[in-house]
């Protein structure tokens, strides 16, 4: 029986009848507590014998924020630098990016950044990293075009000469690494997987992919190249896990075009289609369906306009010269001659579709003759905002079509049987499931084992784990900071967990402000405390606590007099704050944010 060795972090199986393999990733117990990178070589120093390190900084045990570091000796590359959507318990947060400390501390090693494709969860944090780092950046035509737009939009200058367009089959030499781009199908143009040639062997990094034999643009995924790599011998396979829960094969993107044709033919008035702005193939099919029924097309949303312009300039959009009109001109055409393509398929608060649904859009007012098609499925955890928008659309008597009712969306991510094909072709020595929450990684590990991957060669990692290839099997040898950096509105604004906790407390329990006038010479309270609340309890109810609050304050004043401590330091200390907080909690069972102001008289 193979038992889990706490000092060997590899996944093991318990070999007993009717006992499911126990997947478990472990590390040396001390490393999780060490957030100062003490488990790592000092910056500027290199171990005498270089090792290959794989360090995920995002995208594991979560959806989005994909970012992986590959390091060997004094050379380091990064694959993807993505962003994540904020969750409901993150009020006021616009986006979430990976903790970049490890990269910044080792920027002298950074030889290049390789981007699998142009979706936000793979390029969205670049504008933050590139404020402090300069290095070559490689990606497909569409990817680099979107990066260029994003950097310009965020005011990040000076990187124009570092943006390099690559095509499928290119091999880029950077430091000791050589990176080959492999064509894959996804819901955006110019998507790649990467074969990373290292001194220890070949690493295949899948990026986001699906197997589509009838793509809208270009060729099917290059399965032949994956097979050739498998024959050559792959050390490590890092593969996305997004749709591991879905059996079978994903549908071709072309099937969505048939659904659009069906819904467009029967729509009495305007047609409004919400989708991801980066899903150019989806936008192309909307345009094609609109032209088939002689409708004009208007675009709404800054990202939609920017991405469409980029795709059109690169030749990815096929349309008649007179199809596209400006959104400000829609009132010049009858409703039955219009299609509007908009952002907001995820119910984003400021997106165009949300503003339409709440009658806040400058040009579009939803009415009962409109057909609204939401051509996307909710990102996990994002269901409530989407259904809030759908509810508002129904209130305005629009005909709403969304994924729960019709086949107007297909996934850009491989289903289980597609994942099996890649495992069969590559048959790597070691495997890391990536891009998904823990259950996705867990299920993908089981799938790999079903395909013949031994349990002790499968690694379920957390963000920040340092998986190191030395002479034998890889081991988790340390941990680096890899939490969330919360972006708050301003392009230069970051907040930490403490600020977020305060916001959550404010939203749950409100705020109480207590102003004290103190005669410092006589060491006495002057008058009664002024107590004000917001979002806590009614002002009249707080007055019932005045006597107890005054009693606690006087107790601390007397204590200061007896101990001959300065009164100001006593009143401003944590002890009074905690004492008054206990009064509030004992009477209300709430813990508001408590602000104590001392006015010296």
List, for residues 485-518, the tens digit of each pLDDT value.
877 655 455 555 555 555 555 556 678 888 888 7
Lowest-pLDDT choice from 119-123, 361-365, 402-406: 402-406
pLDDT digits (tens, 9 = 90+) for 286-302: 999 999 999 999 999 99
**What is the architecture, at CATH level 2, of domain 510-600?**
Roll (3.10)
Distance (Å, whole) CA 519 – CA 524: 5
CATH class assigned to 254-401: alpha beta
pLDDT at 380: 67
* Full-model pTM: 0.78
Average pLDDT over residues 43-57: 77
pLDDT at 8: 36
pLDDT digits (tens, 9 = 90+) for 201-243: 999 999 999 999 999 989 999 999 999 999 999 999 999 999 9
pLDDT at 534: 74
For residue 362, the 8-state DSSP code is S
Neighbouring C-alpha atoms within 13 Å toward the C-beta of 262: 10
b vs e for 434-460, b when ≥16 Cβ sit within 10 Å of the residue's Cβ? Answer: bbbeeebbbbbbbbbbebebebebbbb
> Measuring CA to CA, which residue among 555, 574, 483 is closest to residue 99?
483
pLDDT at 37 over 50: no
Burial of 274 (0-12, 13-18, 19+ CB in 10 A): buried
Distance of alpha carbon 288 from its chain centroid, rounded?
31
pLDDT at 503: 56
pLDDT at 590: 75
Lowest-pLDDT choice from 41-50, 273-282, 540-549: 41-50
The CA-based angle 202-207-210, given to 5 degrees, is: 115
Neighbouring C-alpha atoms within 13 Å toward the C-beta of 119: 23
Lowest-pLDDT choice from 138-142, 191-195, 252-256: 252-256
pLDDT at 381: 67
DSSP tally for the chain: helices H, then strands E:
17, 27
pLDDT at 261 over 50: yes
Q: CB 110: neighbour CB atoms within 10 A?
A: 22
b vs e for 338-374, b when ≥16 Cβ sit within 10 Å of the residue's Cβ? Answer: bbbbbbbbbbbeebbbbbbbbeebeebebeeebbbbb
Distance (Å, whole) CA 117 – CA 121: 9
CATH number of the 52-248+412-495 domain: 3.60.15.10
pLDDT at 359 over 90: yes
Average pLDDT over residues 456-469: 96
Question: Residue 38 is encoded by which pair of tokens?
Answer: 């003490």
pLDDT digits (tens, 9 = 90+) for 171-188: 999 999 999 999 999 999
| Contact (Cβ atoms closer than 8 angstroms) between residue 102 and residue 83 | no
Distance (Å, whole) CA 270 – CA 596: 57
The residue written with tokens 């390190």 in the block is 53
pLDDT tier at 453, thresholds 50, 70, 90: very high
Q: Show me where the domains of the chain are located.
A: 52-248+412-495, 254-401, 510-600
Which has more confidence, 447 or 530? 447
């Amino acid at each position: 029986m193979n038992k889990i060795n706490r000092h060997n972090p590899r996944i093991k199986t318990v070999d007993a009848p009717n006992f499911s393999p126990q997947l478990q990733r472990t590390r040396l117990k001390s490393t999780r507590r060490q957030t100062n990178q003490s488990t790592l070589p000092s910056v500027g120093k290199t171990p005498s014998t270089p090792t290959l390190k794989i360090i995920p900084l995002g995208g594991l045990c979560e959806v989005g924020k994909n970012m992986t570091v590959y390091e060997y000796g004094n050379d380091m590359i990064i694959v993807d630098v993505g962003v994540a959507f904020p969750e409901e318990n993150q009020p006021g947060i616009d986006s979430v990016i990976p903790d970049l400390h490890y990269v910044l501390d080792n920027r002298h090693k950074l030889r290049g950044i390789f981007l699998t494709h142009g979706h936000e969860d793979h390029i969205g944090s670049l504008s933050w990293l590139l404020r402090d780092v300069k290095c070559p950046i490689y990606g497909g035509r569409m990817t680099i075009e979107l990066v260029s737009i994003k950097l310009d939009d965020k005011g990040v200058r000076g990187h124009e000469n570092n943006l390099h367009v690559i095509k499928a089959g290119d091999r880029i030499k950077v430091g000791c690494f050589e990176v080959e781009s492999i064509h894959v199908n996804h819901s955006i143009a110019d998507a790649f997987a990467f074969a990373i040639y290292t001194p220890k062997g070949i690493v295949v990094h899948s990026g986001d992919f699906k197997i589509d034999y009838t793509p809208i643009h270009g060729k099917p995924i290059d399965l032949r190249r994956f097979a050739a790599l498998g024959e050559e011998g792959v050390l490590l396979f890092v593969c996305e896990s997004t749709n591991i829960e879905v059996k079978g094969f994903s549908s071709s993107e072309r099937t969505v075009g048939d659904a659009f044709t069906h819904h467009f033919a029967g729509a009495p008035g305007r047609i409004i289609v919400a989708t991801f702005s980066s899903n150019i193939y989806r936008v192309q099919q909307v345009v094609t369906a609109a032209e088939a029924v002689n409708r004009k097309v208007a675009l709404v949303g800054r990202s939609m306009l920017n991405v469409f312009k980029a795709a059109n300039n690169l030749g990815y959009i096929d349309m008649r010269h007179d199809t596209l009109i400006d959104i400000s001109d829609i009132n010049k055409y009858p409703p039955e001659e219009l299609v509007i393509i908009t952002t907001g398929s995820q119910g984003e608060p400021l997106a165009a579709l949300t503003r339409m649904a709440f009658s806040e859009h400058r040009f579009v007012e939803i009415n009962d003759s409109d057909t609204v098609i939401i051509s996307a499925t909710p990102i996990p955890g994002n269901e409530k905002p989407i259904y809030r928008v759908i509810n508002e659309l129904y209130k305005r008597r629009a005909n709403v079509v969304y994924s729960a009712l019709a086949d107007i969306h297909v996934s850009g991510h491989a289903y289980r049987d597609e994942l099996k094909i890649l495992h069969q072709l590559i048959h790597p020595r070691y495997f890391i499931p990536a891009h998904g929450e823990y259950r996705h990684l867990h299920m993908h590990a089981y799938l790999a084992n079903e395909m013949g991957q031994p349990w002790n060669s499968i690694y379920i990692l957390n963000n920040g784990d340092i998986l190191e290839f030395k002479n034998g099997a890889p081991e988790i040898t340390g941990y680096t900071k890899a939490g969330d950096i919360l972006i708050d509105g301003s392009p230069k604004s970051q907040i930490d967990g403490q600020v977020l906790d305060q916001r959550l407390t404010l939203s749950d329990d409100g705020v109480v402000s207590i102003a004290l006038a103190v005669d410092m010479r006589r060491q006495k309270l002057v008058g009664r405390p002024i107590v004000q609340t917001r979002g806590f309890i009614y002002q009249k109810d707080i007055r019932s606590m005045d006597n107890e609050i005054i009693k606690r304050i006087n107790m601390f004043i007397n204590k200061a007099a007896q101990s001959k401590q300065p009164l100001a330091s006593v009143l401003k200390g944590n002890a009074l704050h905690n004492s008054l907080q206990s009064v509030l909690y004992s009477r209300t069972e709430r813990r508001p944010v408590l602000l104590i102001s001392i006015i010296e008289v």
